[in-house]
Amino acid sequence: MPHAPRATSTTLSAIHDAAMTLRPVKHSLTLRGHRTSVTLEPEFWHAFRAIAAEGGTPINALAAEIDAARGPDLGLASAIRLHVLRHYRAAAEKRGAEAP
């Protein structure tokens, strides 16, 4: 039976570096005059900011909209992640529908 390749220190270092960039980051938001903190992975923060900018909406206003629409059993961070996912999923479906 073949052996799995051994992880080298270079491979382990690359895995560690990738994990460090995915570590969630906490940011403060103001929702309807109240400060709250939300922890998201850097990629989600980047996408969330891009979606807000694309719509010409301040990030706090978009977060407040998402907060108001979420159910009581869904945390704000999860609601933001789902919003980002749905946004890009809808954009991909739209591009697919426009393809010849």
The mean per-residue pLDDT over the stretch 94-98 comes to: 80
- Reported confidence tier of residue 97, pLDDT bands at 50, 70, 90: confident
Token output for 23: 């570590």
Q: How confident is the model at residue 20 (pLDDT cuts 50, 70, 90)?
A: low
Of 48, 67, 69, the residue nearest 58 (C-alpha): 48
How high is the pLDDT of residue 80? Answer: 98
Instruction: Domain 24-98: give its CATH code.
Output: 1.10.3990.20
pLDDT confidence of 100, banded at 50, 70, 90? low
The domain segmentation of the chain, as residue ranges, is 24-98
What is the rounded CA–CA span in Å between residue 89 and residue 31? 26
pLDDT at 4 over 80: no
With cut-offs at 50, 70 and 90, classify the pLDDT of residue 17.
low
Tell me the per-residue pLDDT of 28-61, one tens digit each, with 9 for 90 and over.
999 999 999 999 999 999 999 999 999 999 999 9
In a 13 Å sphere around the CA of 51, the CA atoms on its Cβ side amount to 25
Residue 1 half-sphere exposure toward CB, CA atoms < 13 A: 1
* Cβ proximity of 70 and 76 under 8 Å: yes
Q: Which two tokens stand for residue 20?
A: 């460090």
Residue 24: CA count within 13 A, CB half-sphere: 9
